């Protein structure tokens, strides 16, 4: 019997994924990862961190996952990865915000924690596959035999954007049982099977940040690490004239209009967070539009980049509409992206993900926007 480890979170998606695989005849093992969470601050105050656990592995979530595993009659284990998670994900998140970039920690977590550490544990337990409750499809290219990462059937729930970082090795050991279903269908399947999480709400927050307050988190984490808090600096227009002062780069994001504290004849938006000068650059909305940009730390789901310029669809944010464009790999591992039409708020630190393939729905790879 083929063994599969299911990464369980106590939510409806991973619970139904485990149930479906059990029904399909797999030898299913459930594992929950115990991740790092921001500890509560001593004393009270405006910047005190609320007492809470990581949303992905709270006591409630762990209890729910155990109940589901017991109902499905599958083994269930908890693996502590707090330190590698903090060092690999949390420190990266903090450092990126300090540098004036806007990180997506889920991308890094999927590659280095879920599909590296958890996959290694799964294989050590004799499993052939690691499964999760992500909405995405994986199959074999009929022409090359290579594994393809494809958009989910439910466009509203598709999560290929956050999984485009996976390699052929990782995809060869990955199962995504929910890729053909919609969220309402998954909830209905949970209810039909009497799973206790059928109506459980899902969290959209960054799992390790208390109350989704990333600005407060950056200040608190700086104090915990004994490093200076984000420092104030100038707000400059495109000509370099100072219009005001900012309270720290981590408190701003590209495209932001409100909360700048400056007066102008026309609405001004954040165009750039200049880490070298510790400056916030502002300008009119039209200046947010970009047709060309570069990405670095590129990854390709087929492990090698295209031989030359490739016509693709590009997504620059998880919920963004894809835009047609041309991606040109560069010798240094970066890539140039030229879009057929300008889009707003191309944000350094976020990922640009490229789609194409025979059906047009394959996540080919991507990189972090420079």
Residues acting as catalytic residues: 109, 207
Q: Which two tokens stand for residue 142?
A: 């009929």
Neighbours of 211 (CB within 10 A): 12
Q: What's 160's DSSP letter?
A: G
Strand partners, 37: none
Q: How far apart are CA 65 and CA 57, in angstroms?
A: 10
Q: Which two tokens stand for residue 256?
A: 């932001």
Q: How far apart are CA 315 and CA 329, in angstroms?
A: 17
- CA–chain centroid gap for 195, Å, is 27
Give the three-class secondary structure for 175: strand
Start-to-end Cα distance in the chain: 47
Q: How far apart are CA 364 and CA 355, in angstroms?
A: 5
Q: How far is CA 216 from CA 85, 149, 221, 291, in A?
A: 20, 36, 9, 33
Which H helix or E strand runs over 304? none
Contact predicate 272/102, CB 8 Å: no
Region of 156 on the Ramachandran plot (φ > 0 left; ψ -120 to 50 alpha; else beta): alpha
Dihedral of the CA atoms 364, 128, 183, 30 (nearest 10)? -140
Q: How far is CA 45 from CA 42, 49, 179, 211, 220, in A?
A: 9, 9, 45, 15, 12
Q: Which two tokens stand for residue 131?
A: 């499964």
What is the per-residue DSSP string for 82-146? HHHHIIIIIHHHHHHHHTT----HHHHHIIIIIIIIIHHHHHHTT-SEEE---SEEEEE-TTT--
């Amino acid at each position: 019997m083929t063994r599969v480890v299911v990464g369980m979170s106590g939510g409806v998606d991973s619970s139904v994924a485990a149930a479906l695989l059990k029904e399909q005849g797999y030898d299913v093992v459930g594992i929950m990862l115990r991740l790092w969470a921001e500890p509560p601050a001593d004393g009270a105050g405006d910047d005190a961190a609320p007492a809470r656990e990581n949303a992905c592995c709270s006591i409630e979530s762990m209890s729910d996952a155990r109940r589901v595993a017991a109902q499905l009659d599958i083994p269930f284990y908890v693996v502590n990865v707090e330190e590698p998670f903090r060092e690999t994900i949390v420190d990266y998140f903090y450092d990126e915000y300090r540098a004036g970039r806007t990180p997506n920690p889920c991308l890094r977590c999927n590659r280095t924690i879920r599909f590296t550490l958890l996959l290694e544990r799964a294989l050590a337990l004799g499993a052939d596959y690691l499964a999760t409750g992500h909405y995405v499809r994986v199959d074999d290219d009929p022409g090359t035999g290579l594994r393809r990462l494809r958009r989910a059937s439910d466009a509203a729930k598709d999560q290929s954007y956050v999984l485009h970082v996976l390699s052929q090795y990782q995809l060869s050991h990955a199962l995504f049982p929910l890729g053909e279903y919609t969220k309402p269908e998954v909830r209905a399947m949970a209810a039909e099977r009497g799973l206790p999480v059928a109506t459980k709400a899902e969290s959209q927050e960054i799992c390790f940040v208390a109350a989704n307050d990333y600005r407060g988190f950056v200040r608190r984490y700086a104090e915990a690490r004994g490093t200076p808090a984000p420092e104030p600096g100038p707000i400059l227009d495109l000509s370099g004239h100072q219009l005001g002062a900012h309270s720290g780069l981590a408190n701003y994001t590209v495209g932001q209009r409100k909360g700048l504290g400056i007066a102008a004849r026309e609405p001004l938006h954040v165009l750039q967070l200049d880490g070298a000068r510790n400056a916030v650059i502002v300008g009119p909305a039209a200046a947010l539009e970009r047709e060309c940009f570069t990405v670095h730390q590129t990854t390709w789901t087929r492990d090698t980049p295209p031989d030359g310029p490739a016509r693709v669809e590009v997504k620059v944010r998880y919920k963004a509409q894809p835009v047609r464009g041309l991606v040109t790999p560069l010798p240094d591992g970066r890539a140039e992206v030229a879009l057929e039409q300008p889009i707003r708020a191309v944000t350094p630190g976020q990922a640009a993900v490229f789609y194409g393939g025979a059906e047009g729905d394959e996540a080919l790879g991507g990189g972090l926007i420079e």
